[in-house]
Chains A and B, each alone.
Chain A
Amino acid sequence: MTFASGDLLYIAPFLVLALSGILLVLAEAFYTGKDRTALAGLTVAGALSSTVVSVALYRHLGATESRLLFTEMLVADRTGYVLTALFGVVAALAALLAPAHQRVHGWVVGEYYGILLLAASGMVLLAQAANLATVFLGVETMSIGVYVMTAMRRRSKRGNEAAMKYFLMGAFSTAFLLYGMALVYGAIGTTSLVQIQGRLVSGNLGLLTVGTFMMVAAFAFKIAAVPFHMWAPDAYEGAPTPVTAFMAAAVKAAAFAAMMRMFGQYMGGDRLPYGVIGWASPMVVLAAITITVGNIAAIRQDNIKRMLAYSSISHAGVLLVGLCAMGLGSASGKPALIYYLISYSLTTMGAFAVVAYVGSKDQERLDIDDWAGLATRHPGAALAMTLCLLSLGGMPPTGGFFAKFYVFKSAMDAQDQQLLWLTAIGVINSAISIYYYLRIVTTMYFKDPRGEIAPTRSAALAFVMVACPLVILEMGLFPNWWLSL
């Protein structure tokens, strides 16, 4: 066992994020000024340079090339680098949302930026993981960072409560993840996912099945799939809006990156009976109830953050459909999932940017009625929100439409009976979801304004509100390039 220093090149996105994260935490310790905007600029620089490095490595690797790093701990391939680039972009967007929100709502905390990048480094680890140990390490690096970020409004009782609930549920699910990994390790005798893939057939079936079910349950906690979703609406509501955006977009995408590696790639395929009766059956059931319950609960919400939380739960269900399709051997599953993750993450960042914009000092304006008549006073913000909501609802010509379309198409391609009825449920629920998304749109456009709205003005925030809707429009009009990633 030797340390291959050449492998360091392939984890450059991780190194950039981790190092700039550590430097930013140190910088905060020695920073004397009151304004933390400079730190936000450095964060964006760090996150985007990790994206640039990911893109360079993506181009450096061949289309089907896959390189195992550090004795099968990590893997470098194009899928991984697309996702690491996405995490860099989302981290940069989350850094752009923060300064104005911190200033207006009185939680100027410089550690936000360093911890943001450290959490993003955990996500990058997940996108490249090829070993149970690195999956665990990535999940925890990401989660611990996000627990801290959720608790950052220290004096806010709601923020504290959200952090406590998120932490307890997260730590509880981590224990399940670890015990599941322990059982799979016991059945097979190695933690390397590549070797696990090779020895799936010869492993102890009982241990394998129980272990995998526990890992599925643990990941269901992380992506907030029903019935493991109870923490999500509370955590999303109580966390500061930039953190909520980061949680909803990046944490979910990273958990799916890990699931794509573990279940879709290394435990998937035609390894019967394991591939089909092993993890796909509980996943199909989870997907069906997650889509449905998430949607029905979202209809009843009056708080925009809670509504977006339930909507993101239902999106996790659709992503699970894609994951099942990928694991059951549908070749179109992986591109569809990647497209969905990119479109969903950018849409979520855009929607929460508008939520952050509409709030002002001592008033977050999270109630849907507070948004009445937004279109007459702030037409740009209303238009950005409308585009994001249309994308979340899966309406053309936005990225959300093709995201759902390709995921359901890949599910049909899998030629599996279960996935057929799952697709039907998914399509029906997409129709239902239009109702509560359009409810916000009609409130913004057709109701009379109730008093003056003095929004949070900031160039960085405005940039996110313009850039995210533009990219999802571009994704919806020209999806081919994104699908070829």
Chain B
Amino acid sequence: MRKASSRTGRSLLLLAPLLVFLIAFFVWPLFSMMSQAVSDPAVLRLLPRTAEVLADWDRKSPPTTPMQTALMEDLKAVNDDQALGDMVRRLNSARSGFRTLMGKTTSALADTGNPPADLVSIDKRWANPEYWLAIADALSPLTDRNLLAAVDLGRNSAGNIEHLPADQSVNRVILVRTFWIAALVTFACACIGFPYAIIAASLEGWKRDLMLAAVLLPLWTSLLVRTAAWFILLQEQGLINDFLRWIGLIDAPLALIFNRTGVIIAMTHVLLPFMVLPIYSVLITIPKNLMPAAASLGAPPWRAFLRVLLPLSLRGVASGGLLVFISAIGYYITPALIGGPGDQMISSIIAFYALGSANWGMAGALGVVLLVATLLLYSVYARLSSDDPGRR
């Protein structure tokens, strides 16, 4: 017993670097992204006294004196300008007008020579319960507004979920666009990758090695380099347009860059290995004599393909498709460099929220939406691929 447990201890020790790595660089970032998406401490952190008093409020009647006093005390105690800014931004996004109201209130409170009696005397808007309602709603440490906003939903003043107005509804369009581009890229990869894998698997020796190397080589090159190469190739004066004009196929250059076509060409190229390799690995496990057997039983080549090779290789196509699709919905660099403004995908929006506007909550929520979509797809795939007991 003792010996066994010491052996377990030793194997855990060997695993420790891996576990530490996974927790530090995988589990923790994932967890913090998801908690960013739903946590909302900006208001509660600064207004602890108000939170206590507001818990007894009926959400309808005009603000009472204790409520006003508590908020005044809270605001006087704030000495962190950045935290105050965060809170104002948060409140303003729930009820516009908070920015000016808070600015006026804090400067009035800062004037120690002339202390105000209550908040309503600073600004009449404080008598309006709607502002207090906004504060009360923002006091909860957890929120679903980021997640809802990620799919263009929001809560109205009554707390019901409804569509955001059209001028704020961009995420859903971009999500649909992201899935559409990913689907097109997956389709293009399957159309090119499937025949390619069939040819590679049917060859032997150096020819097969050459075909596989041609697929793998781009995989070993930096994504940025490959995208930059497409940037050069697809230009109006680029190699492709020059060549097409030289052979007389076109008169005017084709618009291949800063549009959807260019994004799909470049992404298909970048993601092709993820389609070819799974299909290839399935194809080489299919016995070589099945196609001759089908022919000897009277199947013309195309029927033999449809009845034998295609059903046997579908698993490879499905896993390749899943890999490509999941990778494609997270693409950022390629659409950013090759695409136009109408081709930006969800990752660009995430990057905008995370880096551009420091709205970590929104960035996290969109990330969660992507993660959920990916997990859903994967579970569908797992269900499909385990459905068939005859094949292993």
Task: Tell whether A pairs with B.
Answer: no
Which of A's residues lie within 8 Å of B, judged by CB?
Answer: none
